[in-house]
Structure 1
Amino acid sequence: MAVIVALGAFLMTLAGGWTAQRVTDRRHLVLGLAGGLMLGVVGLDLLPEAMRAAGDEVFGVPLALLLFVTGFLLAHVAERLLAVRQAAHGAANGAPHATGYGAPHATGNGAPRGPGNGAPHEHAHRAPEVGLTAAAAMVGHSLADGVALGAAFQVGGGMGVAVALAVVTHDFADGFNTYTLTSLYGNARRRALTMLFADALAPVAGAASTLLFTLPEEPLGAYLGFFAGVLLYLAAAEILPEAHHRHPALSTLLCTVGGVAGIWLVVGLAD
């Protein structure tokens, strides 16, 4: 039964990725919604589950929260190291540095230079590896979703149905975020689609794996805490600032709030 439900998650993930790539003319709204969905998943889904499952404290701090902070810091360090490496590589090749957070360089008459007059793409200073790493983390999260789904059906039918509702619904957000994260950092559409399909297959593989073993609860909770920290960094430091950089509109903010509210609705229905 868990594998059959995971096939529904597969389709929902693809639907989320399809939605993300079809609305490129409203990119700021896509990013605003993605940021809201990610914040909602972290605060309303991942952290509460991690706190419940991980259990133990380390020097007075719950293990889930310690790993949450660790995930946030590691994501920050990884992005900074990749950005410094790419900046050094660009300087060695005579490429101009970016003047701000995604800001285009100015020409002699003060007009911004676009792709047509030789300036790099506005995201050229970003390392594509960051997007691939973030998408790989999403794939890992979806794999854990599948494992959690299979484990829930091991516990009982009622628990399985509740987890199935949460997994299938928020896998739409996973597909949406996986495609958005990969393409945001300048990766080609082919790579974004590859990561999207990997993310769609992950819950099926995770659910199928539980036919072979019973998963301990504490390691799963520890992983969820760590992943929540990574996801929060990407949402707060990357996705949301980019959403409001060119289009600081009320509609973008409403998309963010709507994303959080949507996850809240999913969590409430699952409970």
Structure 2
Amino acid sequence: MAVFVALGAFLMTLFGGWTAQRVTDRRHLVLGVAGGLMLGAAGLDLLPEAMAAAGHEVFGVPQALLLFVGGFLVAHVVERTLAARHAAHGAYDGTQDRARNGHEHRVPRVGMAVAAAMVGHSLMDGIAIGAAFQAGDGMGVTVALAVISHDFADGFNTYTVTSLYGNERRKALAMLGAAALAPVVGAASTTLFTLPPELLGSYLGFFAGVLVYLAAAEILPEAHHRHPAHSTLLCTVGGVAFIWLVTGVAE
């Protein structure tokens, strides 16, 4: 079941990459919904489940909450490290303009390294889907919705960052294909093992922290960057409300 559901992540990643080649004016609405789904899944389903399975305290703080904060911090450190590498190679401070004028040469290997990190992230998404289905079908569906919704952004960014640094189109498509297959491989790997309840709860808490960071620091700011519209806000609220509905029905 988890592998079958992960095919949705495969298709959504490819769709994100396809959209990156044909950017439309409605992308901000899709990202707004994706951010809402991710926030809803993390706060309304993943975290409560993690607390139930791994709620014993460590120095006065529930283990699941510690891992939630840990997931947030790990995602932040990884993102900031990659950002520092981008800056070192001129990815910021007006690089696009300088590149157009021939004053800046971008390093293709940087784009490939960032894309490879995104593939690794997608692999962990698949493992999260499989682990969630081990906790129950309702949990699995909720996590799958969150993963599938943000895989649009993963596909979009994988293709964009690979080509942005001067890599050939075939390499960008190859990295997009790897990012699309990664969730399926990750979900399939969970058929080979079963996580103990406490370990499963710990992982779900950690993954909830990662989701909140991606939604708050990446997806939603990107959604509002060029289109700070009320419609985008409504899409985000709608995404959270949808997860609340799904969670309620699953219970």
Does the 8 Å CA contact 2:45/2:142 hold for their aligned counterparts? no
Inter-partner Cα distance in structure 2 for 1:79 and 1:268:
33
Alpha-carbon offset, residue 147 of structure 1: 3.5
Structure whose alpha-carbon radius of gyration is higher: 1
**TM-score for the superposition, normalised by structure 1:** 0.72
Alignment correspondent of 1:54: 54
RMSD of aligned C-alpha atoms?
A: 3.2
Alignment correspondent of 1:137: 121
| Aligned with 2:192 (options 188, 191, 209) | 209
Asked if residue 83 in structure 1 is aligned to residue 83 in structure 2, the reply is: yes
**CA deviations over 1:214-248 (Å, ceiling 9, x no partner):** 43111111111112212211211122112111111
**TM-score for the superposition, normalised by structure 2:** 0.77
Secondary structure of the residue that 1:55 maps to in structure 2? coil
Q: What amino acid is the match of 2:152?
A: F
Does the 8 Å CA contact 2:153/2:219 hold for their aligned counterparts? no
TM-aligned CA distance change 1:183 to 1:43, over 3 Å: farther
Structure 2 matches for 1:92-103, cutoff 5 A?
Answer: 97-98=92-93
The percentage of counterpart residues that share the same residue type is 50
Alignment correspondent of 2:249: 269
Alignment correspondent of 2:169: none
Structure 2 matches for 1:248-267, cutoff 5 A?
Answer: 248-267=228-247
Inter-partner Cα distance in structure 1 for 2:160 and 2:48:
29
Inter-partner Cα distance in structure 1 for 2:112 and 2:235:
26
Alpha-carbon offset, residue 168 of structure 1: 5.5
Alignment correspondent of 2:68: 68
TM-aligned CA distance change 1:72 to 1:31, over 3 Å: same
Q: What amino acid is the match of 1:260?
A: V
Does the 8 Å CA contact 1:39/1:232 hold for their aligned counterparts? yes
- Listed as ranges, the gaps of 5+ residues in structure 2 are 164-171
Inter-partner Cα distance in structure 1 for 2:157 and 2:61:
31
Secondary structure of the residue that 2:89 maps to in structure 1? helix
Does the 8 Å CA contact 2:71/2:206 hold for their aligned counterparts? yes
TM-aligned CA distance change 1:9 to 1:167, over 3 Å: farther
Does the 8 Å CA contact 1:79/1:130 hold for their aligned counterparts? no
Inter-partner Cα distance in structure 1 for 2:112 and 2:45:
28
Asked if residue 226 in structure 1 is aligned to residue 206 in structure 2, the reply is: yes
Does the 8 Å CA contact 2:16/2:154 hold for their aligned counterparts? no
Secondary structure of the residue that 1:201 maps to in structure 2? helix
Secondary structure of the residue that 1:83 maps to in structure 2? helix
Q: How many residues align?
A: 236
Alpha-carbon offset, residue 146 of structure 1: 1.5
